Structure 1
Amino acid sequence: MIDVLHERLSRAAITTQGNECALSYIDLGDGPPLLLIHGGHGGWYHWVSNIEALSTHSRVIAPDLPGFGKSTKPQSDFTLKLAASELFAFLDRLGVVTFDIAAFSFGACVAAQMAVQAPHRVRSLAMVNPAGMGPVSRRLDGIQNAAAQAAKSHGLEQGVRISLESIMVSDARLVTEELCVIAANHVRATRVQTRPIARTHPTRALLERVRAPMWLVLGSQDPHQQYELDLRSNFVRAISEGNTASIAHTAHWLQFEAAPWFNDSLSTFIDRVRSKRVTPRTIDTGCPT
């Protein structure tokens, strides 16, 4: 019933004018702020199975990045610094000074830039299958090429279905017609290019400079990550003793595929940071790895 949930959240969306663009966003719940940053070709809908659950624990703020979803294209060229600056200005308008971040895929590039650009404002950083960590597999390139060809030959929804079933989730039963329509509409709405940025591997270099506690969450079936699971987990852990990592039996869109576990685990991680308790070196995934 993702279409029903998506429609309910869409009715709560707000638009605000920024320096470079207008931003569309969801703002639900009370408590310390939690910023959710979506991935490429996405929008806040990447958190559709998480927003309401997390809003019982935090004030959840989930924007469409500049040039994505219902947000307008920035006047200047899209860069990580521009996206971070627009989000900081947006949070200033909301009266939010310090906050936690959960970021997905390309959103982790933006989140890492924010944590480096204004470290005093980012309390913690959770990253779900982050982009920009290193080379991608040949298998991923093959899937993306097949999806692009299907989109040209049979329509965008068919190309999106290939991507959803072969990259985004490991359980194809989650891929409904309604989900394909929502995802395809967001692909159509994307007005900036993120893949060239991600393939310069900015996230790894930025994370080395992040001092906020980090939780890295990787999907063992994600073709972006699965050939370097241990290397990437150990890399983040080695940056600081306060960092932790988890590997779950999911594909790329982990927070959708394993929503109940992710929502509980993210809330637990944030609670530990907010109470200034040391985070564990690993978090039990609650699912097979």
Structure 2
Amino acid sequence: MRTDPALIDTLSARARTERVAWAGGQVCWRGFGSGSPVVLVHGGHGSWLHWVRNIEALAAEHTVWAVNLPGFGDSDPPEGEGLAALLAPTLSTLDTLIGPGTPVQLVGFSFGGLVAAHLAAQRPQVRRLALLGTGGHQGPRRPKGELVNWKPAWRAGNAAAVEHAMRHNLAMHMLSGAADGIDPLALRVHTEACVRTRFRSKEISRAGGLAGVLAAYAGPTLLAWGEHDVTAEPAAVASALASPLPDAHTRLVADAGHWVQYERADAINPLLLGWLRD
């Protein structure tokens, strides 16, 4: 599978870009393919490009809508700082885009997993939900090391220092490999997403609440983590979240860290396609 940065330009050229208005501004959605609609929700310090290695595979069978959440990438910031302020324009513009009664399937990553779960609980006609490395579980974390603050280097225009920080942070938090093995595509996606993030998600993601939201949704739910995910103890969190639910399925993916759908796209793409077909 491709890991060269040109994949971003290829997908950007193919995308049907929709800037959908709501009361406080616009939310940017990118569409691909045809078929039943699947919505992809990125993580914190992310963008639609968190799905850069998944979109083409999913769009072979579905209409894929990849959102830039309010305050991320091309989308205007929400009118407030809390989760409700972010959810309102996301839900409103989704309904404008596809119609409020249109059945949809939701796939969320990290902070976007918590967002997707809330959307599923609030929106009728959500057929299936898949959460990858989801936030909101409030379980223990297992960090590999401290992250580097890249912002001073960015403000100073020190490109080499920015790249060093981004490589380090990807290795510490997002991927299971060493910093010197980070590929150019992952580096570009992460850097561009970080510098364009204007919404603070960390406290929301760590505050919990996911279990209650999943219970309110109560539909078919897939919960997947990379085995080396530093944001959770995957086996324990998977059991705790899935056991009370009527139709939940869990999967641990070998040789992957937090950004599981990027690092193991070869495993996640068929997993998601099978789940969405069911």
The answer to whether structure 1 residue 103 and structure 2 residue 108 are counterparts is yes
**Per the alignment, do residues 181 and 271 of structure 1 end up closer, same or farther by CA in structure 2, a change over 3 Å counting?**
closer
**Match of 2:271?**
265
Structure 1 length-normalised TM: 0.84
**Match of 1:183?**
190
Match of 1:125 among 119, 123, 129: 129
| Per-residue deviation, residues 160-196 of structure 1 (Å, max 9, x unmatched) | 2111122211134761345323312211110110011
> C-alpha separation between the residues in 1 aligned to 2:86 and 2:103?
18
**Match of 2:22?**
18
Task: Answer whether contact 1:16 1:24 (CA < 8 A) is retained.
Answer: yes
> C-alpha separation between the residues in 2 aligned to 1:115 and 1:262?
21
Offset at residue 212 of structure 1 (A)? 1.2
**Match of 1:87?**
90
Amino acid paired to 1:243: A
Offset at residue 63 of structure 1 (A)? 0.8
**Match of 1:44?**
48
Q: How many residues align?
A: 264
**Match of 2:240?**
235
Amino acid paired to 1:251: G
The answer to whether structure 1 residue 210 and structure 2 residue 200 are counterparts is no
Structure 2 length-normalised TM: 0.87
Identity %: 28
**Per the alignment, do residues 243 and 198 of structure 1 end up closer, same or farther by CA in structure 2, a change over 3 Å counting?**
same
**Match of 2:118?**
113
| Per-residue deviation, residues 195-243 of structure 1 (Å, max 9, x unmatched) | 1111211323322322111000011111112xx3222111232133421
How large is the Cα RMSD of the aligned pairs?
2.0
Offset at residue 79 of structure 1 (A)? 2.7
Q: Which runs of 5+ in 2 are unaligned?
A: 154-159
Larger deviation: 99-108 or 158-167? 158-167
The answer to whether structure 1 residue 244 and structure 2 residue 246 are counterparts is no
> C-alpha separation between the residues in 2 aligned to 1:124 and 1:135?
24
Match of 1:4 among 3, 6, 17: 6
> C-alpha separation between the residues in 1 aligned to 2:29 and 2:181?
25
Q: Which runs of 5+ in 1 are unaligned?
A: 273-289
Task: Answer whether contact 1:80 1:113 (CA < 8 A) is retained.
Answer: no
Task: Answer whether contact 1:67 1:73 (CA < 8 A) is retained.
Answer: yes
Amino acid paired to 2:243: A
Offset at residue 152 of structure 1 (A)? 4.0
| Per-residue deviation, residues 73-108 of structure 1 (Å, max 9, x unmatched) | 12x113322333222221222234220001000001
The DSSP-based 3-state class of the residue aligned with 2:216 is coil
Task: Answer whether contact 1:67 1:191 (CA < 8 A) is retained.
Answer: yes
Alignment of 1:157-196 (within 5 A): 157-172=163-178, 175-196=182-203
